[in-house]
């Protein structure tokens, strides 16, 4: 063992903390997709204006939040399980709807009419 490279004692499975930092699509490919309820994910990058810090706060309060960076530009990924509190999703989307590069994913997949159809259907759940 002394002659092997210094990483000989690494665990074979990644820890939960390591998996949390990996992008969901990569995590699903590596270890399989976990069973989870219906979700809508909003992915947005940095944008100018006063609403950015509020948007980041709302994203961090989502059910699952991951912040990554691409070429030094932060990318925020906020997953919501809208069944119990759909207003949180609406509040974040109201701020970031005009942000450049905004993505709305349904169960982590880009689907047609995600903004025009899926989001309003979820907002019908708001009492």
**Do residues 44 and 55 make contact, with C-beta atoms less than 8 angstroms apart?**
yes
Over residues 13-69, the pLDDT tens digits come to 667 666 666 666 676 777 676 677 888 999 999 998 889 999 999 999 999 898 988
Q: What pLDDT sits at residue 72?
A: 83
Measured between alpha carbons, how far is 13 from 30 in angstroms, rounded to an integer?
A: 10
Average pLDDT of span 94-106? 92
Domain count, the chain: 1
**pLDDT above 80: residue 78:** yes
Q: Please check whether residue 56 lies inside any domain of the structure.
A: yes
Q: pLDDT confidence of 5, banded at 50, 70, 90?
A: low
Residues 6+ apart with CB under 8 A from 38: 81, 82, 83, 107
Over residues 29-39, the pLDDT tens digits come to 776 766 778 88
**pLDDT above 60: residue 83:** yes
Q: What pLDDT sits at residue 59?
A: 95
Q: Please check whether residue 4 lies inside any domain of the structure.
A: no
What integer best gives the mean pLDDT of the chain? Answer: 83
Average pLDDT of span 82-104? 90
Q: Please check whether residue 24 lies inside any domain of the structure.
A: yes
CATH number of the domain where residue 111 is located: 3.30.70
Q: Please check whether residue 44 lies inside any domain of the structure.
A: yes
- Domain of residue 65 covers 16-123
pTM over 0.85: no
Q: Please check whether residue 3 lies inside any domain of the structure.
A: no
Q: Please check whether residue 92 lies inside any domain of the structure.
A: yes
Q: Please check whether residue 26 lies inside any domain of the structure.
A: yes
Q: Please check whether residue 107 lies inside any domain of the structure.
A: yes
Q: What pLDDT sits at residue 29?
A: 74
If one counts every other C-beta atom within 10 angstroms of the C-beta of residue 86, the result is: 20
């Amino acid at each position: 063992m002394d002659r092997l490279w210094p990483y000989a004692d690494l665990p074979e499975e990644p820890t939960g903390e390591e998996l949390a930092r990996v992008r969901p699509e990569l995590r699903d490919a590596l270890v399989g997709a976990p069973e989870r309820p219906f979700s809508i994910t909003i992915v947005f990058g940095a944008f100018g204006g006063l609403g950015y810090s509020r948007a980041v706060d709302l994203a961090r309060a989502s059910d699952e939040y991951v912040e990554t960076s691409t070429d030094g530009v932060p990318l925020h990924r906020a997953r919501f399980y809208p069944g119990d509190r759909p207003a949180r999703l609406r509040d974040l989307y109201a701020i970031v709807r005009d942000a450049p590069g905004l993505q709305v994913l349904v169960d982590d997949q880009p689907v047609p009419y995600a903004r025009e159809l899926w989001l309003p259907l979820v907002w019908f759940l708001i009492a």
